[in-house]
Amino acid sequence: MAYQLLWNGGDAPDADIWFVHGLRGNLIDTWSSGKVCWPRDLLKVDTPTCRIFTWGYDVNVANVTHAASHATIFGHAESLLQDICMSRASKGEAERPLVFVGHSLGGLVIKEALIRSSEYFFNRQDEELGSVYACTKGIVFLGTPHRGSELTSYGHVVAKVAKVFLRNPNEHLISLLEKESPILERQRRSFASISKNLDIACVIEELPTSLGIVVPESSATIDGFNVKYQQIPRNHMDMCKFATQDELGYKRVVFLLCNIIKRTLGKSCSQARPSAGQHLAAGPTPGLRAPQASLAPAPETPSEETRHQYDKV
């Protein structure tokens, strides 16, 4: 596991943006089209006063969610929390607003990390780890399966995602994932109880892969007042890869991301853009200034059942 700082946001960054890939992903390649890694090469122009991180991890694909494995997607949530805290160890950094972008099953890692961070926060077990939940303002999900449908179980949807990323899918793995619906449903309910104050955007794939639409709209969306939806003309594999700022998919994703930042900080991303001809690496860019972050008000405390239902995940 590792994280990489792609853009430093100047001398006084206003927010931190974290990118989390999915199954068999890579902290750079997942977000790249050719030699262009859009969080590194394009996004800094649109969010110049935000630090941009990408986080990578290895998943034991034979035990993606199985409780007996420590190398699960859910199991990496704790490592994500630790790495975020490590990156914010300097004075004043732990209160900086956080925004996440997750592709595919990477969105489930983000959700699990925030569920666990909320437990630290509400139970006052660890102020540092709890601050991740308290400072998170929004999430952009790219093709993340959030639930099943009337015709398909949640586990079946996640299993289909695994089939797309595994060259020679193990039928035992697929069968296992299809049986994991109860665990996935518990995560869905827990996240719903702690995400009422978050700005959430769900990006939906419009084009099929060779296996068809991987995560249908019914699974890629979350109910909620603060949830926005957007389709992009990409399939599940390519919906996180952009080569230019002119691509419709890039424009739509960054529009959603910048709106979250705008609502968080009270100013638009464009107000922080450097003037024409100014080199981004030349120094800090005047513009967005974050208000003093506060740990309150927080969403209601999850029920006792909700807080402890992941002890076996």
Closest of 3, 199, 194, 16 to residue 116, by C-alpha: 194
- Considering only CA atoms, give the Rg of the chain: 19
| Blockwise average pLDDT, block size 10, the chain, 313 residues | 92 96 90 98 97 86 48 77 96 93 94 96 93 97 84 72 66 56 83 95 95 89 89 96 98 98 77 37 29 33 35 29
Q: Is the dihedral of CA 55, 74, 122, 102 positive or negative?
A: positive
**CB count in 10 Å sphere of residue 187:** 21
Report if residue 222 sits inside a domain. Answer: yes
What CATH number is attached to the domain comprising 73?
A: 3.40.50.1820
Residue 313 lies in a domain: no
The answer to whether residue 208 is domain-embedded is yes
What is the per-residue pLDDT for 306?
34
Q: What is the DSSP letter of 148?
A: -
- What was the pLDDT predicted at 53? 99
Structural domain boundaries, residue 260: 2-307
The whole-angstrom separation of Cα 279 and Cα 44 is 11
pLDDT of 266 reads 81
Amino acid code (one letter) for 34: G
CA distance 31 to 102: 11
In what side-by-side order are the strands of the sheet with 199-205? 2-7, 50-56, 15-20, 98-103, 136-142, 199-205, 227-232
User: What is the pLDDT, as a whole number, of residue 279?
Assistant: 33
Decide if 189 is inside a domain.
Answer: yes
In degrees and rounded to multiples of 5, residue 105 shows phi and psi of: -70, -15
Total structural domains within the chain: 1
Q: At 236, list the tokens.
A: 């599940």
Residue 161 lies in a domain: yes
Domain annotation covers residue 57: yes
Kindly state whether residue 200 falls inside one of the protein's structural domains: yes
Q: Note the pTM of the prediction, 2 decimals.
A: 0.80
| pLDDT recorded at residue 40 | 98
Q: Where are the alpha helices (DSSP H) in the chain?
A: 38-41, 43-46, 77-87, 106-122, 127-135, 154-165, 171-178, 181-194, 217-220, 248-265, 304-308
Report CA torsion sign: 296, 220, 5, 47: negative
Residue 312 inside a domain? The answer is no
Q: Which whole-number Å values give the CA distances from 253 to 12, 21, 300, in the listed order?
A: 25, 15, 29
